[in-house]
Amino acid sequence: MAKTNLKKILAVVSLTVFAAGCSPEVGSEGWCEDMKKQEKGSWTADDAGNFAKHCLM
């Protein structure tokens, strides 16, 4: 039973890491489009700075 739970946890963690690795590179056109769709209140200071640097200029 413990092996089954461990396998499930490992599968979830692996999928999460894989999905995170598929996000667009900061400053790319895809990243800018994703940021435009997000609520501005959820952006971090780094997100706002990167958006201004790469997407507005």
Which one has a higher pLDDT value, 55 or 20? 55
Residue-range definition of the domain harbouring residue 46: 25-57
pLDDT for position 8 = 84
What are the residue ranges of helices labelled H in the chain?
2-20, 29-37, 45-51
Contact between residue 53 and residue 35 where contact means Cβ atoms under 8 Å apart: no
Q: Give residue-wise pLDDT tens across range 17-43.
A: 666 567 889 999 999 999 999 999 999
- Joined together, the tokens standing for residue 38 give 């997000």
The sign of the CA dihedral 5, 8, 13, 14 is: positive
Q: Does residue 1 lie in a domain region?
A: no
**Tally of domains within the chain:** 1
pLDDT for position 53 = 96
pLDDT for position 38 = 94
Best CA proximity match to 32, nearest among 56, 12, 1, 14: 56
| Proportion of the chain in helix, strand, coil states, percent, rounded to 5 | 75, 0, 25
pLDDT, mean over the chain: 86
Q: Does residue 40 lie in a domain region?
A: yes
Q: Does residue 3 lie in a domain region?
A: no
